[in-house]
Amino acid sequence: MSMPSSKHYLKYWAPPLLYMGLIFAISSMEQPPLPMPEFEWLTIDKLYHFVEYAGLGALLALAFAKAPPPGFRAKWGWSAAALIAILYGVSDEWHQTFVPGRLATVADWVADLLGSIAGVLSVYCYLRLKQD
Which tens digit of pLDDT belongs to each residue from 77-112?
A: 999 999 999 999 999 999 999 999 888 889 999 999
Residue 122 burial (CB count, 10 A): 14
| pLDDT for 37 beyond 80 | no
In a domain, 84, yes or no: yes
| pLDDT for 1 beyond 50 | no
Question: How many domains does the chain divide into?
Answer: 1
H or E stretch covering 124:
helix 106-131
pLDDT at 3: 60
Average confidence score pLDDT of the chain: 88
In a domain, 1, yes or no: no
In a domain, 63, yes or no: yes
Is beta strand 42-43 parallel, antiparallel or unpaired with respect to 38-39?
A: antiparallel
**Where are any strands of DSSP class E within 32-131?**
38-39, 42-43
In a domain, 12, yes or no: yes
Residue-range definition of the domain harbouring residue 56: 6-29+37-131
Rounded distance, CA 33 to CA 11, Å? 29
pLDDT at 112: 97
In a domain, 14, yes or no: yes
pLDDT at 120: 98
